[in-house]
Structure 1
Amino acid sequence: MYKPAETTAERKHPPPVKVLSGQLRTAESRGTADGCLIRRGGGRSLPVSLVWMQGTVLEVQPERNTVMLMDETGTFAVQGVNNIPRGKPCLEPGKYVMVMGVIVAASPEPVIRAVKMADLSELAGLHRRMWKLEVEELQRVLA
């Protein structure tokens, strides 16, 4: 069976890992381009560079191309939001959104450079309740 060769982009970044901002705050840095290691139970660590996060929009800073979000473990900044196709509807305080992006900084305040954003406000209650479980399940499988 024919299997096409991986492109450089496919090798460069593994799939996004679902994380909470609190996990990034306590993560071990692996260098700017390599992301970080988040600690899992049992002494295990999980390398992450591309993340999937969810949270409520607290503040929009269009002049800085940034939005501040909050999940159940704290706040985090998302940069590059003005460059995201169809990202504008997400840029409103109170909206519950998902963001996929590359880790720019993990601590003291997590900063993510956005690659994709989507508004999850319509079913925000369900998304909020399920998010921590989704994060735990994916990390358990990956670790």
Structure 2
Amino acid sequence: MSRGDAGKLSAPARKVFAEQLQTCSRQNDVMITGVTGTDLDQDAQKCWLMKAIPGKPTDTTDLRLEIVWLQGTVLESDPEWIVIHDGTGRVRGELNDVRKANKIMAGDAVVSKGAYVILVGTILSVGEIPVLRAVKCSELEDADVHKELWQSEVLHQQRFVSR
């Protein structure tokens, strides 16, 4: 996805925790609309439903997910994929589309193990290690500040903004 296409998505990225993606369900009858200029296949354009987890701080209403936003520490990386841990679980990001659109990630550049990153993308699969097709992956400076704020940012968006 090119930078110019980001404004054409039908909904903003929703901040989520990895553990919340593990139990999402595919909404086969709902497609992401307004995604133009991408090579997303039909599966990557499916919406997902994130169910509220009773008793958890994220005990919000169910949320429909199209594009998700996670932040976490890099556990493993390769030029084509990355695995991060956000404190609740792991997520794998497929980076092929990011590399096509972002010269910084071009070639064989690998994000360093231990780096703190933002990972934004569409959900390809869920389970123990959910997989995203990344549309953005960037290392964040001042990692300690971002780590400290991340849980509050997710909880705030899910409780107050995403309703």
Structure 2 residues not aligned, in runs of 5+:
29-42, 53-58
CA-CA distance at 1:139 after TM superposition: 1.1
Which aligned pairs between 1:13-24 and structure 2 lie closer than 5 A? Answer: 13-24=10-21
Distance 1:14 1:134 in 2: 18
Cα distance 1:113–1:73, how it changes in 2: closer, same or farther (>3 A)?
same
* Aligned counterparts of 1:111 and 1:13: Cα–Cα separation in 2: 21
Residue 135 of structure 1 is matched in structure 2 by 154
Query: 2:137 and 2:78 mapped to 1: Cα distance?
Result: 16
More helix by share: 1
**What's 2:51 paired with?**
39
Q: Distance in 1 between matches of 2:101 and 2:77?
A: 14
Deviations 1:56-112 (A, max 9, x none): 1111123xx111111111111000254351236771111000011111112232111
Residue-pair matches, total: 131
- Match 2:65 to one of 48, 53, 56: 48
- Runs of 4+ with deviation above 3 angstroms: 81-84, 87-90
User: Is 1:73 matched up with 2:53?
Assistant: no
The two structures have a TM-score, normalised by structure 1, of 0.80
By how many angstroms is 1:28 displaced? 2.2
The gaps in structure 1 that reach 5 residues or longer are: 1-6
Using structure 2 for the length normalisation, give the TM-score.
Answer: 0.71
